[in-house]
């Protein structure tokens, strides 16, 4: 059997799979971030159009 590759941090070893799971955000969070990003983009365009009108 091939050895699992381990990453070491502070003398602790983590398998790559463990790290990947630890750093994968929850799907809901991704959706929330996307929605916020859209809202912010919309606000920015609104501000720009206001500036142009003045």
> Coil, helix or strand for 20?
helix
Residue 1 lies in a domain: no
Does pLDDT of 6 surpass 80? no
Residue 17 lies in a domain: yes
Residue 14 lies in a domain: yes
Cβ atoms of 47 and 40 within 8 Å: the answer is: no
Q: How many domains does the chain have?
A: 1
The confidence band for 3, taking pLDDT boundaries of 50, 70 and 90, is: low
Facing residues of 9 across strands? 12
Rounded to an integer, what distance in angstroms lies between the CA atom of residue 53 and that of residue 8?
A: 57
pTM of whole model > 0.75? no
Rounded to an integer, what distance in angstroms lies between the CA atom of residue 24 and that of residue 28?
A: 12
Does pLDDT of 4 surpass 70? no
Residue 29 lies in a domain: yes
Q: pLDDT over 70 for what percent of the chain? A: 50
């Amino acid at each position: 059997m091939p050895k699992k590759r381990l990453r070491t941090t502070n003398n602790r070893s983590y398998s790559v799979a463990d790290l990947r799971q630890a750093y994968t955000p929850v799907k809901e969070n991704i959706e929330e971030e996307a929605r916020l990003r859209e809202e912010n983009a919309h606000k920015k365009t609104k501000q720009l159009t206001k500036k142009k009108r003045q």
